[in-house]
Amino acid sequence: MAEPHDVVVIGAGQAGLATAYYLRRAGVDFILLDASDEAGGAWRHGWDSLTLFSPASYSSLPGWMMPSSSPTRYPGRDDVVDYLARYEKRYGFRIERPVTVCDVRETPDGLEVCADGETHHAKVVVSATGTWSAPYVPVYEGQGLFEGIQLHSAHYRSASDLVGKSVIVVGGGNSGAQIAAEVSEVAKLIWVTPQLPVFLPDDVDGRVLFERANARVLGNDGASVGSLGDIVMVPPVKKARDEGRLQSVRPFATIGKNSVVWEDGSSTAAHAIIWCTGFRPALGHLQGLGVLDEDGRVANENGRSLKQPRLWLAGYGNWTGAASATLLGAGRMARDVVPSIVDFLAARGER
C-alpha cells in the first residue's frame, strides 16, 4: 500500500485552492483531486456576462491578489477563471485532473479516497466539491410535458437563443436578477420569484456584505444592510430596474406544453423556462461515510464533520462557515480550518 497523504483535498476550485495555500504554508503533505479538465472550478461554467459583486480586492484568495486594471472595476467570469488558473500555477500545487472521486471510506488507520479506479490513502480528507454539479430545480406538475427550452442557470450562457421569445425566469437571487436583466434586453420576460425580490441599496456591494457577515460572526452586528443572498445592483441589473424591466410575479401553479398556468387558472405562453433556483452541495462521494443528513449536508463545527473526525468541508455555503462559498470567505475559512487539521494530526502523532 502506498504511504498515505496527510491530506487529500477533493476539488480544486477556489475553496480547494485556498485550503491548499494554508496546507502548504503549514508544511503539510497533500494532493488535490479535481474532476474538471481545467482550472477555474464552477466559474468556468458561469454565463458569458457574469459579473462579480465586489471588486478584485474583495474577491481574492490568500497570498496573491486578483490582478485588476482599476480598484472600482468588478471582475467578470473570465477574469476569475484566469486568476484561479494562474494562482494554482503560481503555487505549483499538485493537482490531479480530471479525477472524479466517487467514494470515501473509513479504514482502521485513516480514509480511502476512491477515484477513477485508483485508491488514495489519507489521514485527513477535505471535501471542497462545491455545488455546481448539483443544480436544484423545484418539481412542478406538467414539467416533463413542456416542449420549449428548459435549463438551469448552471447551464445558461447567454440570451442569444432567446431573442423575441417569451421567457420565464424563476428565482429571486443574484442569478435570477442578472439573468432576468439580460433576457429582458432581447425577449419578453416574466420574472417569477417566491416573494418580492430584495434589491440592496445601489451603493451596497460585496464589500459591505462581507463586512456585515464578519460583524455577525463576531457578534457585533449593528444596523442590518442585507445578506449575501440579497440582490446586488451590478450595472446591468440597475439599468434593467431603472428601465422598469425587473417587475416580478409570484409563482405559477403548473406547467403546460407551451405555457405556464397561474393559480387563478389563466396561462401565459412560454418558449423557455430558466430555473435560477439554486444548488445543493455536491456531496454524493461522502455517502459511504454515513455523514450525510437528510438535507444532503454534513453536520459540522467550523468545517469539521461531527461524525467523522478525519473529514473537513471547505466552501458550500454559510452552513460550513460564514461566506465560505465566496472567494474572500473561502480564504478566511481555510485560514481557520488548516490549524485544526494540523493540531489533529499532531495530537495523534500522525505528523
By CB under 6 A, tell whether 319 contacts ligand FAD.
no
CB nearer to ligand FAD: pick between 172 and 206: 206
**Number of alpha helices (DSSP H) and beta strands (DSSP E) in the chain:** 6, 17
Q: Which stretch binds ligand FAD (CB under 6 A): 42-50, 117-125, 164-172, 254-262?
A: 42-50
By CB under 6 A, tell whether 331 contacts ligand FAD.
no
By CB under 6 A, tell whether 181 contacts ligand FAD.
no
Q: Which stretch binds ligand FAD (CB under 6 A): 7-15, 22-30, 160-168, 189-197?
A: 7-15
Q: How many residues bind ligand FAD (CB under 6 A)?
A: 36
Selected binder of ligand FAD within 34, 112, 182, 230 (CB under 6 A):
34
Burial of 319 (0-12, 13-18, 19+ CB in 10 A): middle
Strands across the sheet containing 259-261:
254-255, 259-261, 267-269
Cell numbers at residue 329, please?
Answer: 470567505
By CB under 6 A, tell whether 60 contacts ligand FAD.
no
What does residue 64 show for φ and ψ, rounded to 5 degrees?
Answer: -150, 120
CB nearer to ligand FAD: pick between 35 and 298: 35
CB nearer to ligand FAD: pick between 122 and 282: 282
CA-wise closest residue to 61 among 31, 91, 30: 91
Q: Which stretch binds ligand FAD (CB under 6 A): 38-46, 159-167, 246-254, 336-344?
A: 38-46
Selected binder of ligand FAD within 68, 100, 258, 318 (CB under 6 A):
100
Please give the Cα distance from 181 to 163 (Å, whole number).
Answer: 13
By CB under 6 A, tell whether 42 contacts ligand FAD.
yes
Q: Which stretch binds ligand FAD (CB under 6 A): 10-18, 184-192, 262-270, 332-340?
A: 10-18
Compute the residue count for the chain.
Answer: 351
CB nearer to ligand FAD: pick between 71 and 349: 71
Q: How far is CA 294 from CA 103, 131, 298, 299, 309, in A?
A: 18, 17, 9, 11, 20
Burial of 293 (0-12, 13-18, 19+ CB in 10 A): exposed
Selected binder of ligand FAD within 282, 286, 333, 334 (CB under 6 A):
282
- x-marked contacts with ligand FAD along 133-172 as a string, rule CB under 6 A: x---------------------------------------
Contacts (CB under 6 A) with ligand FAD, residues 210-269: none
Q: Is the dihedral of CA 24, 26, 30, 32 positive or negative?
A: negative
Confirm if 274 and 265 have CB atoms less than 8 A apart. no
